[in-house]
Amino acid sequence: MRMDEINIRDPYILTAEGKYWLYGTRGPTCWGEADGFDVYESADLKHFEGPKACFQNDGTFWADRNYWAPEVHPWRGAYYMFASFKRQGLCRGTAILRAERPQGPFVPWSDGRVTPGDWECLDGTFYVSRTGEPYMVFCHEWVQCGDGEICALPLTEDLKGPAGAPRVLFRASEAPWCKRMHHSSGKEGYVTDGPFMWRTSDGTLLCLWASFSDAGYTEAQAVSDNGEIDGHFRQIDPVFMEDGGHGMVFRTREGDLRLILHSPNEHLKERPVLIPLEEHGGRLDILPEGLPAWYTPLRRDLEGMARELEAMEGWKARGEIRTLTPSPNGQKDTRRIQEALDAAGKAGGGTVKLTQGDFVSGTLEMRSGVCLWVDRDARLLASTDLGDYPEHHARRLTVQDTSMGMHQSLIFAEGCRDICLRGGGVLDGRGSPQNFPGEETAQGTPGRPFLMRFIDCVGVEVRDVTQRNAACWMQNYLNCENLILEDLRVENHANYNNDGMDIDGCRNVRIRRCHVTSGDDALCFKGAGQAVTDRVLAEDCVFLSACNAVKIGTDTQGDFRNILVRRCRIGGLETDPSGLKHPGADSAVSLEMMDGGCVEKVLLTDLEVTGAFSPVFMRLDDRGRVKPGEKAPGPGTLRYAALTHWRGRDCGPRGSYLLGMEGRPLEDLLLWDIHLRQKASVKPLTAPEEIGDMHLVYPDAHMIDPADAPAYALWARHVRTLTVKDLMVTPEGEEKRPEFLL
Mind giving me the DSSP string for 139-173? EEPHHHHSB-EEEEEEB-TTSSSBSS--EEEEEGG
The string of pLDDT tens digits covering residues 87-124 is 999 999 999 999 999 999 999 999 999 999 999 999 99
| Percent of the chain as helix, strand, coil, to the nearest 5 | 10, 50, 40
For Cα atoms 585, 510, 300, give the angle at the middle one, nearest 5 degrees. 95
Confidence of residue 408 (pLDDT cuts 50, 70, 90): very high
Instruction: Residue 455: give its domain's CATH number.
Output: 2.160.20.10
Do 489 and 590 share a domain, yes or no? no
pTM confidence score: 0.92
Do 473 and 515 share a domain, yes or no? no
Q: Which helix (DSSP H) or strand (DSSP E) does residue 565 occupy?
A: strand 560-571
pLDDT exceeds cutoff 70 at 540:
yes
CA dist 460 and 158 (Å) reads: 42
Task: Select from 287, 302, 327 the last residue of a domain.
Answer: 287
Do 601 and 482 share a domain, yes or no? no
Q: What is the mean pLDDT of residues 227-252?
A: 96
Do 389 and 487 share a domain, yes or no? yes
Residue 566 lies in a domain: no
Residue 488 lies in a domain: yes
Taking a C-beta distance cutoff of 8 angstroms, is the pair 197, 127 a contact?
Answer: yes
The string of pLDDT tens digits covering residues 47-63 is 999 999 999 999 999 99
pLDDT exceeds cutoff 70 at 442:
no
CA dist 553 and 558 (Å) reads: 10
CA dist 305 and 264 (Å) reads: 37
Do 494 and 513 share a domain, yes or no? no
Residue 304 lies in a domain: no
pLDDT given for residue 329 in this prediction: 85
Do 258 and 366 share a domain, yes or no? no
For Cα atoms 565, 482, 306, give the angle at the middle one, nearest 5 degrees. 35
Residue 301 lies in a domain: no
Q: Which helix (DSSP H) or strand (DSSP E) does residue 518 occupy?
A: strand 515-518
Residue 527 lies in a domain: no
Distances (CA, A) of 109 to 96, 124, 452, 553: 6, 15, 60, 60
Q: Compute and round to an integer the Cα radius of gyration of the chain.
A: 30
Task: Select from 287, 304, 339 the last residue of a domain.
Answer: 287
pLDDT given for residue 206 in this prediction: 98
Averaged confidence pLDDT in the chain: 95
Do 695 and 730 share a domain, yes or no? yes
Instruction: Residue 186: give its domain's CATH number.
Output: 2.115.10.20
Confidence of residue 396 (pLDDT cuts 50, 70, 90): confident
Residue 338 lies in a domain: yes
CA dist 388 and 394 (Å) reads: 18
The string of pLDDT tens digits covering residues 700-736 is 999 999 999 999 999 999 999 999 999 999 999 999 9
| Total tally of structural domains belonging to the chain | 3
CA dist 110 and 94 (Å) reads: 10
69-83, 180-194, 645-659: least confident range: 180-194
Do 436 and 518 share a domain, yes or no? no
CA dist 582 and 654 (Å) reads: 15
CA dist 366 and 320 (Å) reads: 16
Confidence of residue 399 (pLDDT cuts 50, 70, 90): confident
Do 65 and 191 share a domain, yes or no? yes
Confidence of residue 157 (pLDDT cuts 50, 70, 90): very high
Write the DSSP symbol of residue 311.
T
Do 473 and 518 share a domain, yes or no? no
Q: Which helix (DSSP H) or strand (DSSP E) does residue 346 occupy?
A: helix 334-346
pLDDT exceeds cutoff 70 at 320:
yes
Q: What is the extent of the structural domain holding 343? A: 318-498
Q: What is the mean pLDDT of residues 258-276?
A: 96
Q: What is the mean pLDDT of residues 543-570?
A: 97
Edge-to-edge strands of the sheet including 740-741?
364-365, 409-414, 450-455, 475-478, 501-504, 523-526, 548-552, 585-593, 612-620, 656-659, 714-717, 740-741
Share of the chain above pLDDT 70, in %: 99
Do 491 and 539 share a domain, yes or no? no
Do 408 and 515 share a domain, yes or no? no
Distances (CA, A) of 124 to 81, 102, 114, 238, 704: 10, 18, 9, 21, 61
Confidence of residue 397 (pLDDT cuts 50, 70, 90): confident
pLDDT given for residue 403 in this prediction: 78
Residue 564 lies in a domain: no
